[in-house]
Amino acid sequence: MASLSASISCRPPRVALGEAGEATGRSHFPPSRRSLPSPLPRSRARRVGVVPSHRRRDLSKTIHASVTDVTVDMAAEEVQLPKGETWSVHKFGGTCVGNSQRIKNVANIIMKDDSERKLVVVSAMSKVTDMMYDLIDKAQSRDDTYVFALDNVLEKHRSTALDLLEGNDLANFLSQLDGDISNLKAMLRAIYIAGHATESFTDFVVGHGELWSAQLLSSVIKKNGVDCKWMDTREVLIVSPTNSNQVDPDFPASEQKLEKWYSQNPSKTIIATGFIASTPYNIPTTLKRDGSDFSAAIMGSLLRAGQVTIWTDVDGVYSADPRKVGEAVILKTLSYQEAWEMSYFGANVLHPRTIIPVMRYDIPIVIRNIFNLSAPGTKICRPSVSEDEDSHKLESYVKGFATIDNLALVNVEGTGMAGVPGTASAIFGAVKDVGANVIMISQASSEHSVCFAVPEKEVEAVAEALQSRFRQALDAGRLSKVQVISNCSILAAVGQKMASTPGVSATLFNALAKANINVRAIAQGCSEYNITVVVMREDCIRALRAVHSRFYLSRTTIAMGIIGPGLIGSTLLEQLRDQAAVLKEEFNIDLRVMGITGSRSMLLSEAGVDLSKWKELLKEEGEVANLEKFIQHVHGNGFIPNTVLVDCTADSVVAGHYYNWLRRGIHVITPNKKANSGPLDQYLKLRALQRQSYTHYFYEATVGAGLPIVSTLRGLLETGDRILRIEGIFSGTLSYIFNNFIGKRSFSEVVAEAKQAGFTEPDPRDDLSGTDVQRKVIILARESGMKLELSDIPVDNLVPEPLRTSASAEEFMEKLPQFDQEWTNKLQEAEAAGEVLRFVGVVDLLKQRGAVELRTYKKDHAFAQLSGTDNIIAFTTTRYKEQPLIVRGPGAGAQVTAGGIFSDILRLASYLGAPS
């Protein structure tokens, strides 16, 4: 027996009782009393133990009135918490539980997990945490609309519950939800009146999103017949705030709390709230940035779980930011230290503190994509002995690259620094005094200079502090300068045992040198996991791509067949000739052109065509063109395992062979638009085969020549973005014409000028008809998921109708001036409105339509700012809604088109040979 006394002014004791007298994971008190911050230290708020069932109803009445000399019996027997690898921990972020269907998907994943015991950590539904913070902001600002914003929160969860639950489960949840909302309304009203919210009140408010999502998911799982309990982790996790952005878990206290909670709520499936916890004084708090990941890691540590799985919306950890490096690959494994280093340097892995709890017990973390269950993800764990001993592969030691932008270098230099104790301490003491964060430090062994990187927004304060601190030394000449180098970025190479592996640093700096990148500072720690360089911001992406390519491009040989040695094909062959030696020597990529064929003759070679004289060889040794014989020769050799056909024609007959080539294991790269803009059923058949097979079909140059239009679109779609609209100027020829059709110039004069410069087809009507733009629009529409035929895309034909049947291009050009006045009228009308004429293609996903039209745009519009043959494409998506994502650059010309094809060839090489 235990006799406990508590003052009525103290926080009510929390008793784990349900309404039916059974132990639950929540206190028996109303929400307004259950979770409010305690005004007194924990030592003054005593707790009441669990009482026998026959006395619980009477006791609950007593508690609601007052608590004085309450005597209770301890439970006769408590269930002990099992620990070990029988537990698996899952964490689902807000995107994963963003709506009712996704919550169902999460429930299915949990129920299919064959682990003996499961603990699932969930975040608030997507956007809810932001909505809750917005409530606080509005209330503090005395903005009355917080009431309506709270109604939106209520409606989001009410509608989700109506989709998911029924009967008593639905009624209980809605009742609890209404009670919570009422309490929040009262609290927000108090904040509104005070004009201020304490940190603990803010944490209490924002934590409700996790409470609701955990209850919803738990109810869905129980609805499917699985015994399940939900956990308010504020009753279990005890943390001590260290600053405004960090907390330290109290593992012993949390372990005791968890054991007690489990003894009252034994279950093999537990749904726990992420992000929220309590202080040692039972005051609600949060785990700050990436708090739900941290919650999962802590719970995994407390349970000694076999694995912690972080479910997200990407397939795993990439070798580099895929938005910056299109060839980035998913890493199968990372060590704890590698993941730690990459996350510190901005990679989208995990917050460094998330890794600490699981490292204590060697618990692996797996990053998986909830939207692509077939992807195995990335496993973060302690490397095995065999991996440590695998020293013959350079790639095993360089896992990934990450960057940090918007930095500045501060260089403190002077002969008076050498051998003077305390100089570095004084420097960084001054930096600490202004609250700046030092990202990287580099000091020469001569002690003549110390340089370090800080966020650019903090560098001015740092420089002023150093100037003040060392004013006497600067005046006396002991220090020569405090120099600031702005507009810098950090590039970090991360991998296991890099420092002790010969050649890693040399390879890294060689790649930067080849890309003509100047390195401003270098840091390499003795931990062997990181090599860091500082480069100028404008060089950062180029540097990232250079080093990534050097370590990840394939070490393989590819047999190539070039179809169509016309303007684009011959330009590509020249580019291959110029780069062949560099690719082979520096990147170990051996691209062997085994054959070149035109419509009349072809050249075949057993060892690879000499590209320095391919034209002469085609004339002297060429044979009658035979496409099937050509394919057999290129693909049928016995010593090169990989084959790619590069179709540089605009021939629909050649495009008709793509399907069979891919089926035979032949990769296809092309700027030919005919296959992707042809009959819809053939396009769908081709794409289905592409997805099912291990052969690659790349066609970046079909839309934007050398511009990354298709890859940008795919990147947006694959990362879960939703395309709303694509609008752009897709024709370099028509871009040139309307960029120069200004003032008093006539339309026919500009067209003649474009033809003379070689920008148009031999017959300008091929450009002016808009058919080329129409094909590009249908390609993008289909890539976006629209099932349209080419004929579904209406086109504004710019060729005057009487001239569409002219016998020749010369006759067309002679008669075109007759229609100049019509064009002049259109131009003058646009200019009078402060607008310009532009010929654009549009893909409207909301209206499920596409069009090719002559439109007008205001002179400050991005489409009005073009020059030459530039193309520009604007992607409006759910992420880029207010400000569309713009891709702009040269959209015509053999050099850029061949460059786009070459880029696809190198991407293929990377895919075929990148290390796993």
At 228, is the secondary structure helix, strand, or coil? coil
Sequence-separated (6 or more) residues with CB below 8 Å from residue 823: 741, 746, 747
* Paired tokens of 6: 């508590």
At 658, is the secondary structure helix, strand, or coil? helix
Q: Are 499 and 528 contacting, i.e. CB atoms less than 8 angstroms apart?
A: yes
DSSP labels, 731-796: -HHHHHHHHH--TT--HHHHHHHHHHTT-S-SSTHHHHT-HHHHHHHHHHHHHTT----GGGS-B-
What is the distance between the alpha carbons of residues 670 and 693, in angstroms, rounded to a whole number? 18
Beta bridge partners of 367: 310, 378
Q: Please state at what angle helix 567-587 crosses helix 540-552, rounded to 10 degrees.
A: 70
What is the distance between the alpha carbons of residues 803 and 796, in angstroms, rounded to a whole number? 15
What is the distance between the alpha carbons of residues 300 and 85, in angstroms, rounded to a whole number? 10
Sequence-separated (6 or more) residues with CB below 8 Å from residue 44: 7, 10
* Paired tokens of 829: 């009308």
Q: Tally the C-alpha atoms within 13 A of residue 559's C-alpha that lie toward its C-beta.
A: 22
Cβ atoms < 10 Å from Cβ of 149: 18
Q: Are 613 and 639 contacting, i.e. CB atoms less than 8 angstroms apart?
A: no
The secondary element (H helix, E strand) that includes residue 277 is: strand 276-278
At 873, is the secondary structure helix, strand, or coil? strand
Which residue, 498, 647, 630, 488, is CA-closest to 562?
647
What is the distance between the alpha carbons of residues 436 and 621, in angstroms, rounded to a whole number? 70
The percent of the chain in helix, strand and coil, each rounded to the nearest 5, is 45, 20, 35
Q: Are 272 and 119 contacting, i.e. CB atoms less than 8 angstroms apart?
A: yes
At 805, is the secondary structure helix, strand, or coil? coil
Q: Are 873 and 704 contacting, i.e. CB atoms less than 8 angstroms apart?
A: yes
Sequence-separated (6 or more) residues with CB below 8 Å from residue 89: 118, 119, 120, 121, 296, 299, 300, 303, 305, 307, 308, 309
Which residue, chain included where needed, has tokens 């006394």? 5
Beta bridge partners of 795: 852
Residue 439 has phi, psi (to 5 degrees) of -85, -35
Give the pairing type, strands 870-877 and 723-729.
antiparallel
Q: Are 415 and 370 contacting, i.e. CB atoms less than 8 angstroms apart?
A: no
Give the pairing type, strands 556-563 and 400-413.
unpaired
Query: Which residues are identified as catalytic?
Result: 776
What is the distance between the alpha carbons of residues 459 and 903, in angstroms, rounded to a whole number? 39
Which residue, chain included where needed, has tokens 């909670």? 261
Which residue, 378, 358, 355, 381, is CA-closest to 368?
378
Beta strands (DSSP E) in 67-142 are 70-72, 87-92, 117-122
Cβ atoms < 10 Å from Cβ of 795: 18
At 324, is the secondary structure helix, strand, or coil? coil
Q: Tally the C-alpha atoms within 13 A of residue 35's C-alpha that lie toward its C-beta.
A: 27
Which residue, 634, 525, 591, 463, is CA-closest to 907?
591
Cβ atoms < 10 Å from Cβ of 244: 7
